[in-house]
Amino acid sequence: MPTTFSTISALRAALHPMRSHQRIALVPTMGNLHEGHIELVNIAKQYADIVVVSIFVNPTQFGVGEDFDSYPRTLDADVEKLAQAGADFVFAPEVAEMYPILPLATSVRAGDITAELCGRSRPTHFDGVGIVVSKLFNIVQPDVAVFGQKDYQQLAIIKQLVIDLSYPVHIISAPIIRAPDGLALSSRNQYLNTDERTRAPKLHATLQQLATELQNNAPLTKDNLVSAITQAAERLNEAGFEIDYLEVRTQALQPVFAEERSESDSDTDPKVLVILAAAWLGRARLLDNIVVTLH
């Protein structure tokens, strides 16, 4: 059974004697763990001797009217799963331990991308992600940290955070874990009722179809891209989704066509694109993405 800590000082004291001779990995989570989270732990074990899993429903990344109060909290079951996965430590602090005073006077951002994609409908979300990840890096001081690719924008922002703030942490990207019908695993999937759960895999299927269309239309033009996205959006609307966004970007999350890109994106492979989507189905806001290589 992993040792569980609820205070920063206790976790730091436990990790201190290990730092000189063991590599430490961090897997940040908000709990209510599923197979995708467990895969993050499995990957972390390949890169480190000690795996720390944080379980913290972070209030600073929830906006007004979002599901902070109702977000599922299943600490005992989570610890049992982490024991089977071979995690060493669990860090499960209360809000007051992480944030003695709220609202915070400090914010952490990682550039203009925080205002795009998910940031348009959740304008304070990535500020909250930035501050909690920074705090966890300072508390745990990991050699590596593992994040899932399902939250592609979050992953990109954290990678930029590490560069800009000179954290000595190697960020490892973990592939999306899916149910057999293609739905990306998420703690919020439990918000889906039976009918919605049946329809939910159409999000991934639509992204797959869009990826195929982009490949078949190579060399890609702006008109082809707009047409393909419009048709994909129509298919999602017909399936009952309320689309937050459906976009195609470069790997650096810049616009596809060069005249609209920043200079920082000049080194990315123009043939590798990312299809990103967020869509509501009932109470569940579903995220998904596909990396597609053009022919």
Q: How confident is the model at residue 276 (pLDDT cuts 50, 70, 90)?
A: very high
Active site residues: 37
Collapsing DSSP to helix, strand or coil, 118 comes out as: helix
User: Residue range 87-95: average pLDDT?
Assistant: 98
**Could you give the CA distance from residue 119 to residue 153 in angstroms, rounded to a whole number?**
9
The token pair at 215 is 């490949």
Angle subtended at Cα 8 by Cα 4 and Cα 11, rounded to the nearest 5 degrees: 45
List, in order, residues 6 or more apart from 178 with CB less than 8 Å away: 184, 185, 204
Q: What is the pLDDT of residues 212-259, one digit of tens each?
A: 999 998 788 999 999 999 999 999 999 999 999 999 999 999 999 866
Annotated binding-site positions for ATP: 30-37, 148-151, 177, 185-188
Calculate the average pLDDT of the chain. 93
**CATH superfamily of the domain spanning 187-293:** Pantoate-beta-alanine ligase, C-terminal domain (3.30.1300.10)
Ramachandran sector of residue 195 (left: φ over 0; alpha: ψ -120 to 50; beta: rest)? alpha
Q: Is the pLDDT assigned to residue 267 strictly greater than 90? A: no
Q: How confident is the model at residue 263 (pLDDT cuts 50, 70, 90)?
A: low
Q: Is 3-174 CATH 3.40.50.620?
A: yes
Annotated binding-site positions for beta-alanine: 61
Annotated binding-site positions: 30-37, 61, 148-151, 154, 177, 185-188
The reply to whether 187-293 shares the fold of 3-174 is no
Q: What is the pLDDT of residues 55-90, one digit of tens each?
A: 999 999 998 889 999 999 999 999 999 999 999 999
* In contact, 222 and 257? CB cutoff 8 Å: yes
Domain regions of the chain by residue span: 3-174, 187-293
